[in-house]
Structures are given as structure tokens and as C-alpha cells.
Structure 1
């Protein structure tokens, strides 16, 4: 649905100013019909990237293609047509305070020139879809944050777009409201066959609803793929840091700070065991105890779901003597259990 081809974006640089590079060469594709997330630290380039999709910004070099259309070559009329096919929801809702719920949703349709009856036929089902049928005559000041965001979502859907952009749409909401908005986005994606591209710094959001994810750092996509694959086996250091507080079992700092890369005499190995796919429901921990002996401690554990797939992890420790390590490694190879050696300690 969206393809970034060698996209760069520079700001400034005129009148002797030093140019700021927001995007340093982006190559990335958003699958049609999927919910895709772009995650990264503040200032990494997320917002600039998403604003290129509907022409709010234009690339300095490269192409941004939306369903095959090159956004950078469109004139004003072409951009207006594009924006009817690309809805957008915002962190702070961006509703007009002087308009009711109904009229905020109707605004894009009024701009498009539809008559009142056609507008009503479009707006009423949207209010029902987002659960606001009883709030038609209310004003934004009378709504909660979650209700305001539902108005924003309905407004974004008014022109029947094929792509929905979400710019930190849940960052201003409490956890319970965030969950309800994410469930609504999943329903919209499924029932309307709508591609969703969201940017966020909240890993929990991507973990909950996105089937695909890209990690952006300093204007570059440093890692991308299926959300489950990226979250369970991150390859780039930026990804590992972003996910460290979100995914899997976590060790207390006082344990992690004492770990060494090489064992000394009498040390124990600390190993993260990762359960997913074929290993998710097998009693492998009990079998590991039978293989290496009962001197095995469980230090931390977590059971989770990532993009709808089960995922679990345990951090265990056992003696780091050569014989025990050899038996454990042989067991991992035979069972296909994914592991990560965290270090060694007393």
C-alpha cells in the first residue's frame, strides 16, 4: 500500500544554515491490508515519515508511493484526491470545538461537496461503528479523551479511505482507554479491509495490534519484519533497548549488574529460555531439569502474546561447569528451544 524508495528529508540549509537531516535514506514497504507500526525514540524521524504519506511533507530525494501513486509529483488537485483516500488520526484529536460530534465527522464530506442527505447517510453508520450514536449533538468539551479520539477516527473514515494513518493516537490516553481504541482499530482493519500505518513510541501498542513493524533510528530503518519475529529476536541494539522493558522476563538490576561474559570457577550460567511456536506448550523446563540435574533455579518468568501469537520466557541459572553446559547445549539443539546466555555470576 505504501512504498518508500530511497527517501531522504532535509530541513533548513538556506541562508548559510546547516541542514537538519530527518530521514537519511528510507527503503520500506507497508503491506496492503495489514496493521503496520513504526517505532522509535523521540526525534528518530517517525512523524516526518508518516507526514510524507499524505503529502504534508515532500521528500528531498526519493519517492513515496501510495498504492502506486507517486505523492511527490501530485499537484494541489492530486493531493486533495490523495488525502480523501488517506485518513489520519492525531495524538491530540484536532477536533473543532464549535462543531458537534456529527458535524466534526461530517467536515471532510462538506469539503468534498456532498449534500446534507448524503452526509447524514455516511455519518450515522460511522457514529455507530465507533460507539458514539448517542453523542451526535455533543461538543468536544463534553467528551472524554477516548470519545474525542473515536470522533477523530470516524472523521478519518468519512471519505472511505483505503489507508489510515495514526500519529501517536493513543499517547494522550489512559491504559484502559488505549486498549479500547486499539480494539476499535483492529475491528476497522478487519471489517473494512483498511490498511493501517501507525507510529508510536509505545511498544505495547505495536505488540497488541500490529502484524508488521519497522524500527527507525536517526532517520534510518534499522530493522523491520513481522512483529512477532522482531519482538522475540531483535537484531539491532536500538530495537533491543526499545523492547527491554516490554517483552519477556526481566532480571533485577542488582543481578544484571554483576553478570560477567566469561565464567569463573564456581559460577552459574544465567540463560534466557524462549518459548514460541512448536516449543510454546511443551514441558521443556522439566525435561531440562532431568537432563542437567536438579540444581536449576528459575529467576524470572513471563507469559505474553505478541501480534496474537503466544510467547513465553524464563531466566534460569545452573552450574557453569563444562559438563553441565555441554548437556544443556545438547538439549537445546535437540529440542529447538531458543536460548540466550545473559552472562555468568556467583
Structure 2
């Protein structure tokens, strides 16, 4: 598998650029050297929400920690808004981190400080005057919907409220880039949705670039306009979220997205499917509706083209990165004439299909 290399135009418009980046953790007692990242070339576009997905241990966390200098690359360059992170001294790194906010899975709030004081902390460290701190913190606490909780302590907050404090704190120094390290993994689905809506509004209203890593495909499908798939330290697939989710190329991507790829046949059907038909078999086909085909009455037209032997087995309507996406699993006799009529219909209408197999 090969890395996807950013084009020059991508690089020119990038907020973060990885140029041939590798990270090797040296051998230590009882452990051999480990290659966490292996020649990464990738550009994170300005103003977008970009998701990095991959299995545990694929290199996601290491990649994001290189962006704010929490880790240093063993080879290659990490460039944030034109600045080579590896070339910064301690003072330069402090300046970079004021431009790069980060939110964490477990919130990382100080239990002894109120909501207000947690959000104020980065500004205090930066030496901002008290009046400016008050204006900024009051605005941010209101932005994340916690004005009535400003004097509460973390122990008095729900998980979603704690994460809102974390987001407000990450925005305190008015960063250009927001990093999210599994920020919704500890939250229930309803709370996750509210946090994602908040991040989308921040991205839209503040023009903030967001780079998030997650193992939750629903998060990426909901919020990210761009996605990259990392496997064994390499970027193996990347592009628009809609394109990657609807037309995955690499097997790693297909496996990762299997739970978020629409309807599936039950095991008692799929386990008996064969790659080629026998006499009396039926073809099991997934129809994929996207773009213009998402709004056309193609199911009725297919039934008219094939005839009454068409069975509709399952279906779902979804949205990926704000674009409509539907899938329908149908079955019809795998007879030459029937298959020919179906293929002609698919070619005429532009309907995307996937043959799942053949069976009785």
C-alpha cells in the first residue's frame, strides 16, 4: 500500500503539511524499536474539518502530537501554517501552542478550578491582563452554552459539559487550528451529537481549521469534509469524506467503514453467497444512490425493467458529510436475460451497484 501524496496546490492551501514524516520510538528495555509513522505525506486544508481514522496503534495519536510539538519527527517536516515545527526553539513552541488548541478524550480539567478559571488558565499563563481575560472567558463560556455554570467546578458537571469547558479552554488563545484527540469517545451518543454540532458551528463561524482523530466512523461521517485513513504508520487512502465512505479502495478502509456503510444482509444470507451463479440462483445486488440518483424514482423503474421477480431485501437513507446517500439491497434471478436487462438499466441511469454474490 502506498501513501497518498499531497499535490502542490493542496500544500499551498494547507494549514498543516506532513512532508515525508516518520517517527521511530527507539528500543528500550524489553521492547524493540517501533516505527509509529512511516513516510507520511499529507496536507490538511485550511478552514476544513479533517478526520484521521485508523485502528488502535495505527499511528493516529502520534501524528496529531507532532502538530503541536508534543512529539518530534524522526525524519521529514511538519509544517503548521508555514512554520516548520521541528525548527522551533522552546519559545517558538510556546508561541505555536497558542495558535494550536487541543481538546482531549478525558477533558483534562483542573478539579480545583471553576469553569471560568479553567478557561482562563491559558490566558493567565500567556500573561494577558485581567480585564481582557474576563472579556474573553465570558464570551467563550457563553459560546459553549455554559454561562449558568461559570462558577461551578468540574465535579458538578456532566461529561458533555466538561467537554464544552475543554473546547472553550482550547479556544482561549484564539488559535488558528483546533486538534481533537478522541474528544467524543467518552460521551454517550446524544451528547456526542451536541458536541459535534458545537464543533461544526465553531468551524463555520470562526473559520477555524479542525483536525480530529477518532475510531468512531459516525463522528467522521457527521462532521468531517475530508478524511485520511492511516494503517501501520502510512496514509493509505484520503480524500473527500463522501468519496472515501462511498467508494473505499483499500481493504483497510473497507473494513473500518463496514459498520457505517449502509444496509447489510443478515449472516444467514451473506454466509451462503457465492462469487458465481449456479442454475436457479438469484443475484444479490446493493444499489447505491448518491448525487443525482439520490433524488430519482429509480427503484420503481428498475422493477419495471426487470419484472415482478425483483425482491427488495433492505434499505437505508443516510447523509455523509452533508450529502445524501442511500443504499438498497435487491435480489433477482441470475438468468442471462435478467442480468442483461439489469446491467443495461444501471448503465442507462448511472446507478452505482455492487454485486454481493449469488445464492438460492
Normalised by the length of structure 1, the TM-score is 0.99
Deviation at 1:14, TM superposition (A): 5.9
CA RMSD between the two structures? 1.0
Are positions 1:299 and 2:313 aligned together? Answer: yes
SS of the residue aligned with 1:245?
helix
SS of the residue aligned with 2:93?
helix
Deviation at 1:247, TM superposition (A): 2.0
- What corresponds to 1:275 in structure 2? 289
Paired with 2:104 and 2:30, the residues of 1 have a C-alpha distance of 34
Q: Out of 221, 245, 248, which is 1:234 matched to? A: 248
Deviation at 1:15, TM superposition (A): 7.7
Are positions 1:107 and 2:104 aligned together? Answer: no
Instruction: List 4+ stretches of structure 1 deviating above 3 A.
Output: 14-17
Q: Out of 195, 198, 221, which is 2:235 matched to? A: 221
SS of the residue aligned with 2:295?
coil
Q: Out of 102, 108, 116, which is 1:88 matched to? A: 102
Normalised by the length of structure 2, the TM-score is 0.95
- What corresponds to 2:191 in structure 1? 177
Q: Out of 151, 172, 193, which is 1:137 matched to? A: 151
- What corresponds to 2:258 in structure 1? 244
SS of the residue aligned with 1:295?
coil
Paired with 2:267 and 2:77, the residues of 1 have a C-alpha distance of 45
CA gap 1:49/1:268 in 2 versus in 1, 3 angstroms: same
Are positions 1:166 and 2:180 aligned together? Answer: yes
Deviation at 1:309, TM superposition (A): 0.5
Paired with 1:16 and 1:195, the residues of 2 have a C-alpha distance of 40
CA gap 1:127/1:23 in 2 versus in 1, 3 angstroms: same
Residue ranges of structure 2 left out of the alignment (5+ in a row): 1-14
Paired with 2:195 and 2:331, the residues of 1 have a C-alpha distance of 41
Q: Deviations over 1:196-219 (max 9, x none)?
A: 000000000000010000111111
Deviation at 1:79, TM superposition (A): 0.4
Paired with 1:235 and 1:121, the residues of 2 have a C-alpha distance of 49
How many residues are treated as equivalent by the alignment?
346
